[in-house]
Structure formats: C-alpha cells, structure tokens
C-alpha cells in the first residue's frame, strides 16, 4: 500500500522554512530505524516527518521567486546553519506572493545580502495555485507585522478549504471572528505564533510555573532576546511589534500565579546583532519573594539556533492537522494550539495540552479537545 502524504504549501521561504525542509529531508533519509533524536513524535497517526511533501511556496524575494524550493531556501538572506544539506527532493516551485505589508522600509538601510530584496513581478492568485497543487495545509512563515498579508493568505485558505498553520503573531486562529469562519467552513487550523521547541517562551513558562508551585510570588521579570537573522532585523521596526509583544507576554504571564502589574513584565525581541546570524540568545531574569518574603533572584542565559527550534514544532503541527482533517474536525484544534503556539485561542499549561494531544492521538478526544 502506498503511504499517506501531507500536501503542504509555505508562505515565506525564510530561515524557518529552510530548517523545516532540512528536518523533513533528514528524518526521511534516516528511515524508521535511524536517528529520531530531536523529534517530539516520530509517528503521528501513521505519519512520519518524511511523509510531509511541500508542493508549492510563495515569497517576494528576487533570489527566491521562480526557483525550485530547495535552491530558493538556501538563497540569501537566509542564514540558518545547514545541518543537512541534501534538499534534492524539494523541487516545488516558489511563486510570487502579494506583498501587502511584508516588507519594512527600515530594511532599506541594510546590505542586500542581509535583507529582503523585493522582486518586480506580478503576484499570482494564491487561491488558484493552492487549488491547482491540491494543497491541504498552508504554513505562514511571513515576517512579523505582515498583518494584511496574513489576512490575505488566510482568506485564500478559507476560499479553497486549505488548513492554516499560522506561525506569526498576526491574530487569526486566536481571533473569534476569524476562527468562527474556519469553523463554519469545516476547516481545522492551528495558531497563532509558533512556540519554539526548547526556546525562551517555554523555559520562561516552566520556571514561572515552578516558582508558583513552590509558593514563591513573582514580583518582576524580563526576557531580552537578541539575534542576527532577518526576523530580528525586521523586528527593529517597533511599529510592527504590537502583536508580538502581546503574544510573548501573554504566553508567560498566563503561567504566573496571581496578579502581576504589566509594568513589572518586560518581554520582547531586543536587538539585531548581524554577526549572530540565526543564533538567538535570551537573557532572562525573575525576581520573586519566597518564605517570609525572602528574596529570590534567578538569571538565565539561553543560546539556541533559532529556526530549527520552530521546525521541531511544525513537523508535529502539520501531522496533527492532517489527522484532524481526516477526522472531519473544524476550527482551532485547541490542545495543539496551546502546545505548539504562543497565542492559542485557549491557553493551557503544557501538561494539560500534551495530555489532551495524546488522547486525541489515541482517538479518545473526537471534538476540538477543549472540553
């Protein structure tokens, strides 16, 4: 019997896309008995990472549009580390997407090798391509602040019955107006703003929950993040950050016991350091009160390669969504949103979300899994 495949499209062939393609290729090459380290699940309902087929992509960069996907993903300004170089199977075409607010003018000040270079081409009709390529799931890896572009791609998904995985902090899956439309159209979705596999958000959440469980009260906290990829360059444009700050802050504050004044929480992308490339460094500080009000201070430095850290989450999100489609579910897949995303429609702690996801895998949660 021929194995099942998941037919995926990507909007935004940046560093996250490059890491995802490397991951699919690497675990496919490993086969069933090879190295599975780095995966949260090897098998999801009979699907392995190698069963993901990227069948088309959309971008706006002259070095990417019109190229086979594997080649486009390796083009500048992408700079994530190549852990697995063979992307020979990624032959899908990269189409010119509509620009909308995908480009921040602030990028003009930087060398071409480091920033986006917009192609002077007519955009395609995204819905038509999604239909022609028989796409099941569209992953949005657009830049932070591309709110209009996000709404355009989401509307094309709605029109064509395609599921959306929204990796960016433009609120669609967590916005009732939008998720109800997907629900009514019978389309399952996951979003918003991907939570890295082992990144600043999950570590901050785990530490906040730990302090709360042990009776300590968090008084003040910050999380400062620096990196040298286009994601960090783009986020120097503070006008694009409104929803990113909301998403990152909510993800942490939802795990803090009791009230905390908003002025005592500072979480966000902090600076762009070009030589860091795709290495992201997080500096985290928590000040708390323990027994008798005794002070507790915690400082942590976390250094990760940024883009593979989201790839490890998205290979699972894609396969959970495929399963949800096969089971006829619609609207947000709540536990998956809570486990994989910073801004889900319903926040859950990691243990609850993971438990519900496993129950979903076993088939014991048939509905959206929130009840």
Ligand X SMILES: NC(=O)c1ccc[n+]([C@@H]2O[C@H](COP(=O)([O-])OP(=O)(O)OC[C@H]3O[C@@H](n4cnc5c(N)ncnc54)[C@H](O)[C@@H]3O)[C@@H](O)[C@H]2O)c1
Question: Smallest gap, in angstroms, from Cβ of residue 17 to ligand X?
Answer: 6
Closer CB to ligand X, 43 or 93, in the complex: 93
Which residues are within 8 A (CB) of 76 and not within 5 positions of it... i.e. 6 or more apart? 63, 112, 113, 114
Closer CB to ligand X, 45 or 66, in the complex: 66
Enumerate binding residues for ligand X (CB under 6 A). 11-17, 58-61, 97-100, 102, 116, 141-144, 146, 149, 167-168, 193-194, 196, 199, 229-231, 234, 306-307, 309-310
Question: Smallest gap, in angstroms, from Cβ of residue 250 to ligand X?
Answer: 14
Closer CB to ligand X, 108 or 297, in the complex: 108
DSSP classification of residue 77: T
Please count the CA atoms within 13 angstroms of the CA of 130 that sit on its side-chain side.
25
Question: Smallest gap, in angstroms, from Cβ of residue 228 to ligand X?
Answer: 11
CB 63, CB 79: distance < 8 Å: no
CB 72, CB 59: distance < 8 Å: yes
Which residues are within 8 A (CB) of 224 and not within 5 positions of it... i.e. 6 or more apart? 266, 268, 270, 282, 283, 284
Question: Smallest gap, in angstroms, from Cβ of residue 233 to ligand X?
Answer: 8
* Three-class DSSP labels, 101-162: CCCCHHHHHCCHHHCCCECCCCCCCHHHHHHHCCCCEEEECCCCCCHHHHHHHHHHHHHHCC
Question: Smallest gap, in angstroms, from Cβ of residue 34 to ligand X?
Answer: 25
Phi, psi angles (nearest 5°) of residue 73: -65, -25
Closer CB to ligand X, 243 or 334, in the complex: 243
Closer CB to ligand X, 143 or 335, in the complex: 143
Closer CB to ligand X, 17 or 218, in the complex: 17
Q: Looking at the chain, list the stretches that DSSP marks H as alpha helix, in order from N- to C-terminal side.
A: 15-30, 69-74, 126-132, 147-160, 176-185, 200-213, 230-234, 242-253, 306-326, 334-340, 350-362
Which residues are within 8 A (CB) of 244 and not within 5 positions of it... i.e. 6 or more apart? 144, 145, 169, 193, 235, 268, 269
| End-to-end CA, the chain | 36
Closer CB to ligand X, 288 or 314, in the complex: 314
CB 107, CB 134: distance < 8 Å: no
* CB closest to ligand X, residue no: 14
Helix axes 350-362, 306-326, angle to 10 degrees: 40
Closer CB to ligand X, 17 or 24, in the complex: 17
Closer CB to ligand X, 19 or 221, in the complex: 19
Question: Smallest gap, in angstroms, from Cβ of residue 300 to ligand X?
Answer: 18
Rounded Cα gap, residues 230 and 369, in angstroms: 36
């Amino acid at each position: 019997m021929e194995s099942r495949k998941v037919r995926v499209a990507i909007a935004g062939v940046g560093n996250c896309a490059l890491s995802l393609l490397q991951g699919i290729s690497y675990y496919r090459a490993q086969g069933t008995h090879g190295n599975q380290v780095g995966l949260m699940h090897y098998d999801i309902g009979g699907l392995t990472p190698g069963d993901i087929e990227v069948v088309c992509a959309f971008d706006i960069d002259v070095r990417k549009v019109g190229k086979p996907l594997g080649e486009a993903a390796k083009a500048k300004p992408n700079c994530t580390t190549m852990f697995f170089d063979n992307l020979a199977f990624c032959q899908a075409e990269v189409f010119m997407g509509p620009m909308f607010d995908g480009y921040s003018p602030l990028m003009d000040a930087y060398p071409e090798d480091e920033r986006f270079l917009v192609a002077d081409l007519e955009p395609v009709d995204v819905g038509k391509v999604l239909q022609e390529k028989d796409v099941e799931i569209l992953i949005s890896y657009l830049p932070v602040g591309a709110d209009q572009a996000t709404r355009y791609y989401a509307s094309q998904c709605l029109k064509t019955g395609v599921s959306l995985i929204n990796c960016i902090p433009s609120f669609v899956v967590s916005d009732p107006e939008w998720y109800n439309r997907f629900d009514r159209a019978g389309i399952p979705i996951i979003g918003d703003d991907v939570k890295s596999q082992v990144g600043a958000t999950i570590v901050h959440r785990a530490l906040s929950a730990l302090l709360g469980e042990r009776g300590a009260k968090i008084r003040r906290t910050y999380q400062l993040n620096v990196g040298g990829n286009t994601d960090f360059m783009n986020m120097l444009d503070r006008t694009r950050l409104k929803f990113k700050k909301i998403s990152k802050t909510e993800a942490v504050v939802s795990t803090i016991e009791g009230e905390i004044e908003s002025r005592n929480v500072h979480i966000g992308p902090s600076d762009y350091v070009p030589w860091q490339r795709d290495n992201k460094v997080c500096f985290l500080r928590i000040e708390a009160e323990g027994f008798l009000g005794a002070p507790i201070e915690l400082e942590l430095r976390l250094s990760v390669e940024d883009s593979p850290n989201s790839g490890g989450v998205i290979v699972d999100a894609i396969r959970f969504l495929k399963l949800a489609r096969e089971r006829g579910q619609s609207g947000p897949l709540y536990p998956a949103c809570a486990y994989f995303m910073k801004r889900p429609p319903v926040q859950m702690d990691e243990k609850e979300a993971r438990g519900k996801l496993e129950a979903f895998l076993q088939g014991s949660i048939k509905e959206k899994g929130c009840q």
